[in-house]
Amino acid sequence: MGEDQLDMIIVQTINGAMSTIPSYLEEIKENKETFKVENPKEFVYGIVMGMALGMGGAILSAQKEIPTAEDQMRVRDIVYKHIPEIRERIFN
């Protein structure tokens, strides 16, 4: 899978995850006693990052055998370059 195609899929995953931010924050607010989360925005940031990194790895796994360390670094680099926009969307 080419870098541009992987980047596009990961960006779509990030955008999809970011679209759920308001509902996650509301659910945490409504279920404070269940979640026991001290900082809901940091918690949601972790969810979004986990979704992006996990889906990137899953996509590579579906394309061929187990992703190599190099493949995983490619996914990480693509996700990490989008951290500023993810954080802005959650914290602002």
What tokens does 13 get? Answer: 């995953």
What local confidence, expressed as pLDDT, does residue 67 receive? 78
Share of the chain above pLDDT 70, in %: 98
What local confidence, expressed as pLDDT, does residue 40 receive? 95
- In angstroms, the CA 58 to CA 66 distance is 9
pLDDT digits (tens, 9 = 90+) for 1-34: 677 888 888 889 899 989 999 999 999 999 989 9
36 Rama sector, left if φ>0, alpha if ψ -120 to 50, beta otherwise: left
What local confidence, expressed as pLDDT, does residue 15 receive? 92
